[in-house]
Amino acid sequence: MHVQGRARRAAGALAAVLTWVGLLAGCTGGSGPLGLGGGPDGTPAPRDAIRVTPDDGSTAVPQSRRLRVRVPDGRLEKVKVVVEQDARATPVAGHLSTDGLTWRPDDDRLALAARYTVDAVALDSAGHRSARHTWFTTYVPDKRFIAYATPEDRSVVGTGMIVSLAFSTDIVNKAAVERAVRVSARPPVEIRPHWFGKNRLDFRPERYWKPGTKVTVDLGLRDVEAAKGVFGLQAKSFSFTVGRSQTSVVDAAAHTMEVRRDGRLLATVPITAGAPDTPTYNGKMVVMDMLEETRMNGQTVGFGGEYDIPDVPHAMRLTDSGTFLHGNYWDPTAPGVSNVSHGCVGLRDVQGGSSDTPAGWFFDRSLIGDVVEIVNSRDKTVDPGNGLSGWNMTWAAWKAGAAVK
């Protein structure tokens, strides 16, 4: 065991020497081993001529500390910094000051739960060359947060899709979190954020996406402090593609739904909306989820025991509060004639579902992200934060909900 330990220490020492050799390979001048013997007159190089902060061997270094490599005179010839995090070693980009005396990273924020190694070579004003190897580790947070993102990576969505991030903790430092998220599109379009409460951040353009747009979301949340002592965990990207344009307008008074594809009327479908005592919300809603079949129980959305249907076919969620557009097999005479639901929009269907029914036809031609707009209902307009209903907000009001003005 002792022999193995000495072997590991010897290997570590050799690795450090080889690192310095690599750094010095491009240097000229100097004498002695590794070119560090001194200046042209043979005088020895001064010890600790290269100053590195944080100090060598420091542990639990806070994120706010600044990494710097300095020399009092002469110039820094080479600086190599590597950060090891999650078993992955990554070079740290940085730059020298114009006078060559100071090196600093391009991003001053230290990574957390990480180990930094610094290797530097410098030449002082007397021509002495020196090298230094240091390391330090950073603070390991006890608390982390993540974002649950909508839509899914590599999905194809409708033109009304809104990027929505639901955080696992309340966000206090909203501006810091907002700056750490970047949403971009090809072809380019202006995309702006809006906060709903303390733990949800949505992004959208001024108008519906153009078909064919590719949207990329970069989550740079790793080590971002959302609240005191709570730091982000994710550093990832995902993307989605906008498919064809399909928007549907439900007229609750006329008991119809007009379905338009790329501006062209595909069909007018008979529907039933909310009954007078339980009307359907007005406004623009976005398909959030699509279920071939699901159970609907009134107790889960604030009603009593009015209904409990175990096999509702072709169910498409429109709001968080429980508004669906779905097949209706239990009251086949209502669509196109009367409003009898508890707030949902019902299309004629059969038990078990069928593609040959209006509900099945619409389900087969829909995407998550499609817009369903309801008009002429006796209820209020849906709240913009209820589901992906942010299209009911003016562009000015939407932009006003950002933390970074």
Q: Where are the alpha helices (DSSP H) in 100-197?
A: 174-179
**At 147, is the secondary structure helix, strand, or coil?**
strand
Distance of alpha carbon 359 from alpha carbon 365, whole angstroms: 10
Cα angle at 119 between 113 and 124, to 5 degrees?
140
Coil vs helix vs strand at 181: strand
Kindly give the residue spans of alpha helices, DSSP state H, lying in 167-276: 174-179
Does the active-site annotation cover 344? Answer: yes
Whether residue 2 lies in the annotated active site: no
Task: Please pick, among 133, 194, 314, 326, the residue that the annotation labels catalytic.
Answer: 326
CB 371 within 8 A of CB 208: yes
d(CA 341, CA 132): 75
Q: Are 84 and 98 in contact (CB under 8 A)?
A: no
**Of residues 133, 255, 342, 344, which has the active-site annotation?**
344
Collapse the DSSP code of 314 into the 3-class scheme (helix H, G, I; strand E, B; otherwise coil) and give the result: strand
Residue 250 phi/psi, 5-degree rounding, is -95, 120
At a CB cut-off of 8 Å and minimum separation 6, what does 366 contact? 158, 246, 287, 290, 316
Angle at 310 between CA 304 and CA 313, to 5 degrees: 115
Structure tokens at 171: 């966000």
Lookup: tokens for 230: 């709570």
Residues 6 or more apart whose CB falls under 8 angstroms from that of 116 comprise 67, 81, 82, 83, 84, 92, 110, 135, 136, 137, 138
Residues listed for the chain:
405
DSSP lists the bridge partners of residue 400 as none
Parallel, antiparallel, or unpaired for β 246-251 and 371-375?
parallel
Query: Catalytic site residues?
Result: 326, 344
